[in-house]
Every structure is written in structure tokens, then in C-alpha cells.
Amino acid sequence: MKKYSLAIVGCGKLAHIVADAINNGLLEDYKLIGAYSRTREKAIAIAEKVNPETCAVCGSMDELLALKADYIVETASPASLKEFAFDALKRGSNIVTLSIGAFTDKDFYEKVQVVAREHNSKIYLASGAIGGFDVLRTAALMGNCTATFDTEKGPNSLKGTSVYEDTLQTEKKQVFKGDAIEAINLFPTRVNVAVAASLASVGPEKMKVSMTSTPGFVGDDHRIEIKNDQVHAVIDVYSSTAQIAGWSVVNVLRNITSPIVF
């Protein structure tokens, strides 16, 4: 049976979910051939977990791209996706990404599509911590639609952002209201989901995004609502950890090689 080669960029928490899935026999159509992360030890940890003999620990992005893996899983950051997407697609590698926030850069979003078409490669947007791309896309296709994206988080997950203040520990507060572009600019690695939902529906400028901080709240709740003349759909996903996003990459990879495609 043909195995597709796989490489991982960004060897943190979510990459380990993909590595565990390989080890647990959930990705039998793939062979991990390379791992790259800013911190070399993290790439070593992934290679050692899966198979240090067949998975190269890459010292640079170029080294990883030179492997020309059939699929590159990106679990790093929107900035990293921008760094390697063109080169990867030009070499015929397909990309599975969680850092969909990168696509609020219109120029980048348009150019990756042109390059992917020219080189017969594809970019798969993993559903991450949300879902329902199918109904969002379908409802949007029908026309005349509006959409909102409301996130609830605990204050501790906002530490290190400009909206954090100690009073959030005791008071519920809407800490952000704006569109998906403003949201990802303020929270570069926390609202990829809002951008993903917007690209699947009304676009980043028209997606009305809010974020509410609730004292003691654990995990994330993302509530997407889309309406057109005939359809009213609500997709509400609560998750106590971000692990669902790593699993969504596993799901995309399984779908790619499955005879039944969801």
C-alpha cells in the first residue's frame, strides 16, 4: 500500500496529538519523514516519539521543505504559514494548516491559491476548535447572509494579551468586539477559528466577532451563527482544552485518503 510522506512544522502540543495518532495506527496511509520547530529539542521529541530512523529532525524550514513531503502539517503559527506556504506549494507539497489567521492578509490568501493551482497542490483548512464549515459554506453560497462569531474564555487564557486586566478574574466582561481581521491582529494565535469561520462564510471584514471573559471559565466556547433568507444555523463548540484542534488535523489527514469523504 502506498504511503504518503508527512512532515510537521511546529512541534508543540498539537503536533504531539498528530504524532500520537500515527503511533496509534490512526494514520496508516502516512509516514512521518520530517519535523521542524524553532526549538530543535521539540522536533527531536516528535521524531523520537514516532521513529527517529525515518523522521529527519530538520534544522531549518528549508531543510524540511527540501524533503518535498506529500503533506506538511502546520501546527506552529500564522507567521510560520506565511513563511513557508509558497515554497512548499511550488515543490508540490500540500499543506494542512491550523493557522488560518494568516489568510486575513488578502494578498497572501489570493496568491497561495494561484500558486497552489499552478503546482497542483492544495491547502487544507483544518476545522480546529470549531466545525460546520460545510453548512457555513452552503448557507453563504445561497446568498444574502450574515454571520457572527462569539467566543467565551476564562481570564487566564487572556494573560499576555493587551486586553488582560486583573479585574477579569472577578468580573465578566466583553473584552473584544470587531471584525475577524481586528480579532486576529489583537490575538494572533487565539482566534484562528474566527478567521476560518469567516472565510467559509461572509469573509473576515463582515464577520462580527466578540470575545467575552468569564471568571473561572475553563476552555473555550465558540458560537457561530449564520443566517440567510431561508437558513438559520448555530454551531456551538465547547472544548475544555485545545486538543480538539490537533484531532481535527488527524481527521483531515484521514479524510484525504479515505474512500468515503466527509
Ligand X SMILES: O=C([O-])CC(=O)C(=O)O
**What are the residue numbers of the active site?**
222
Spell out, one character per residue from 6 to 25, where the chain touches ligand NAI: x when CB under 6 A holds, - when not: ---xxxxxxx----------
Contacts of residues 236-239 at CB distance under 8 Å and 24 or more positions apart, as own/partner, are 237/129, 237/130, 237/131, 239/129
Residue 84 contacts residue 61 (beta carbons within 8 Å):
yes
The residues with which 234 forms a beta bridge, in sequence order, are 225
Q: In the stretch 141-180, what mask flags binding to ligand NAI with x, by CB under 6 A? A: ----------------------------------------
123-125 and 94-97: which strand pairing? parallel
| Span from 40-48, 53-61, 132-140, 186-194 in contact with ligand X (CB under 6 A) | 186-194
Task: Spell out the residues 6+ positions from residue 227 whose beta carbon is closer than 8 angstroms to its own.
Answer: 139, 145, 146, 147, 233
Q: Residue 55 or 98: which CB sits closer to ligand X?
A: 98
Kind of pairing between the strands at 4-9 and 71-74? parallel
C-alpha span between 58 and 251 (Å, rounded): 25
- Minimum distance from residue 170 beta carbon to ligand NAI (Å): 27
- Report if residue 35 touches ligand NAI, rule: CB under 6 A: no
Q: Is 129 annotated as a binding residue?
A: yes
Pick the stretch among 94-102, 141-149, 207-215, 226-234 that binds ligand NAI (CB under 6 A).
94-102
Which among 98, 103, 31 has a CA at the least distance from the CA of 244? Answer: 98
User: Taking the CA atoms of the chain, what radius of gyration do you get in angstroms?
Assistant: 19
Say how far apart CA 21 and CA 236 lie, in whole Å: 26
Tell whether 140 is in a known binding site: no
10 touching ligand X, by CB under 6 A: no
Report in angstroms how near the CB of residue 85 gets to ligand NAI at its nearest: 12
Give which of ligand NAI, ligand X, none residue 220 binds (C-beta under 5 to 8 Å, depending on kind).
Answer: ligand X
- The DSSP code for 101 is G
Among 158, 245, 250, 252, binds ligand NAI (CB under 6 A): 245
Interaction of residue 75 with ligand NAI, rule CB under 6 A: yes
Q: Phi then psi for 22, rounded to 5 degrees?
A: -65, -50
- Work out whether 185 is an interface residue with ligand X (CB under 6 A): no
Contact window for ligand X (CB under 6 A) among 23-31, 32-40, 88-96, 190-198: 190-198
Instruction: Please report whether residue 193 would count as binding ligand X according to CB under 6 A.
Output: yes
Cα atoms in the 13 Å half-sphere on the side-chain side of 204? 19
Report residue 76 as a C-alpha cell: 506552529
Q: Cβ distance 82 to 109 under 8 Å?
A: no
Return the C-alpha cell found at 45: 521529541
| Site residues (vs ligand NAI, CB under 6 A) | 9-15, 36-39, 42, 75-80, 83, 98-100, 128-129, 189, 192-193, 196, 242, 245
| Site residues (vs ligand X, CB under 6 A) | 128-129, 189-193, 220, 242, 245
Q: Which residues are annotated as a binding site for NAD(+)?
A: 129, 192
